C-alpha cells in the first residue's frame, strides 16, 4: 500500500507551511480508498469538500512519506504504477473504442521514470 500511495502522490500537492499532502478529486470515492490505505499503514488523512459551490473533494494527510523511495520488487512496481495511473491516468470508457492507457503528467522526467519501471518487470 505504501507504493500505491507513493505512486498516487504524483497527483497531490505538498504544503510546506502545514507539512501536508493534498489530493483533490471531483469524486469522493477514490479519496476514501486512499484514506483507508493511509490508515491501514498508520497514517491519518481527512476528507472535506472544498468550497461551498464547488464540486471538488480534498484529502489531506500529514504522513511522513519518503518521496525518494523506489519500488524494489515486482509487487511494489505494480502497486506504484497502479497508484500513479489511478491518480494521473485514464483509458476509454466506451468498450467499442481501441483500448489504450494514458498517463498525463507535465514532468517528463517523472513520466519517463514510470515508463522505465513498467518496461523493467524483473
Report pLDDT for 105.
67
pLDDT at 36: 95
Greater pLDDT, 48 or 85: 48
Residue 55 CA to residue 72 CA, distance in Å, equals 38
Domains of the chain, each with CATH number or no CATH: 2-119 (3.10.28.10)
| Distance in angstroms between the alpha carbons of the first and the last residue of the chain | 20
The answer to which of 27-36, 49-58, 82-91, 100-109 has the lowest mean pLDDT is 100-109
pTM: 0.77
CA pair distance 59, 106, nearest whole angstrom? 22
CA distance 35 to 9: 13
* pLDDT tier for residue 62 given thresholds of 50, 70 and 90: very high
At 101 the pLDDT is 67
Amino acid at each position: 500500500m505504501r507504493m500505491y500511495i507513493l505512486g498516487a502522490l504524483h497527483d497531490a500537492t505538498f504544503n510546506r507551511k502545514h507539512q501536508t499532502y493534498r489530493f483533490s478529486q471531483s469524486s469522493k470515492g477514490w479519496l476514501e480508498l486512499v484514506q483507508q490505505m493511509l490508515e491501514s499503514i498508520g497514517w491519518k488523512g481527512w476528507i472535506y469538500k472544498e468550497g461551498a459551490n464547488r464540486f471538488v473533494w480534498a484529502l489531506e494527510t500529514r504522513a511522513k512519506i519518503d518521496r525518494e523511495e523506489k519500488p524494489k520488487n515486482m509487487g511494489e512496481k505494480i502497486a506504484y504504477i497502479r497508484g500513479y495511473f489511478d491518480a494521473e491516468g485514464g483509458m476509454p470508457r466506451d468498450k467499442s473504442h481501441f483500448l489504450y492507457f494514458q498517463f498525463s503528467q507535465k514532468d517528463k522526467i517523472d513520466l519517463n521514470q514510470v515508463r522505465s519501471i513498467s518496461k523493467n518487470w524483473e
